[in-house]
């Protein structure tokens, strides 16, 4: 009689349900659009930053025309 098997509980292997597509294929198919999204995000950030800098240049004081205000003479002079 083998005493080693008496006190050890039986271990059952858990069976995972088989999916239609393996996980490796799903991950590899999702990698391309994810990288494309990251690159588009970087490009749009750079574009918006350049647009903001260009709008700052438009509203800088040295590029705006000088307005000539008429001098108002006071009545007491």
What is the average pLDDT across 19-25?
Answer: 85
Give the CA distances from residue 15 to residues 11, 12, 21, in Å, rounded to whole numbers and listed in that order.
Answer: 12, 9, 17
pLDDT tens string 43-67: 999 999 999 999 888 777 666 677 8
63 touches 57 (CB < 8 A): yes
What is the Cα–Cα distance from 21 to 28, expressed in whole angstroms? 11
Does pTM top 0.75 for this prediction? Answer: no
Residue 61, pLDDT score: 65
Count H helices and E strands in the chain, helices first.
1, 0
């Amino acid at each position: 009689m083998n005493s080693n098997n008496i006190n050890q509980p039986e271990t059952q292997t858990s069976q995972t349900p088989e999916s239609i597509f393996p996980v490796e294929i799903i991950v590899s198919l999702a990698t391309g659009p994810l990288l494309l999204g990251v690159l588009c995000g970087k490009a749009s950030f750079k574009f918006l930053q350049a647009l903001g800098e260009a709008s700052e240049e438009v509203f800088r004081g040295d590029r705006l025309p000088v307005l000539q205000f008429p001098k108002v003479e006071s009545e007491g002079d």
